[in-house]
Amino acid sequence: MPKRRVGFRISEPLLVDLKMMMKEEGYRQRQKSQWVSQSIEKLLQQDAKAILEKGVFTGDSLNRNSIGEVVSLDEDLLDEVTCKIIELRHQDPLLEDVQSMLIRASIKSRIEQVKAGQW
């Protein structure tokens, strides 16, 4: 399946948490794209309203997200992400940089779920 490289901004504390959680789950650094893909797939199972109500974007400002990261995602997953972005923008038309926010939200969500034993 074709993959596409996707860049996103992430805060240093979240990046540290991501790397720590990957290590705890037995993933190597080269498997970051796989880990993030799985996280995104899980987040996309929720409807747009639930994602916004959970407040996954709370405190997610661009000036705090200063590190650029890149992952490779399947084209099919990117199509699903695009559909979810459209849904989210229908719910809140003022959202900006939604793709990066969605990736960060999926990372945060997975970390929280793993810590709570729900992953």
Per-residue pLDDT reduced to its tens digit, 56-114: 665 555 555 579 999 999 999 999 999 999 999 998 898 888 898 899 999 999 999 99
Cβ-based burial of 59 (10 A; exposed 0-12, middle 13-18, buried ≥19): exposed
Average pLDDT taken over every residue of the chain: 89
98, 89 Cβ separation under 8 angstroms: yes
Q: Which domain holds residue 69?
A: 3-115
The confidence band for 52, taking pLDDT boundaries of 50, 70 and 90, is confident
Phi, psi of 9 (to 5 degrees): -100, 145
Q: Residue 43 and residue 84: Cα distance in Å, rounded? A: 10
| Rounded alpha-carbon distances, angstroms, from residue 72 to 2, 4, 5, 58, 107 | 10, 5, 4, 26, 15
What pTM does this model have? 0.88
Overall domain count for the chain: 1
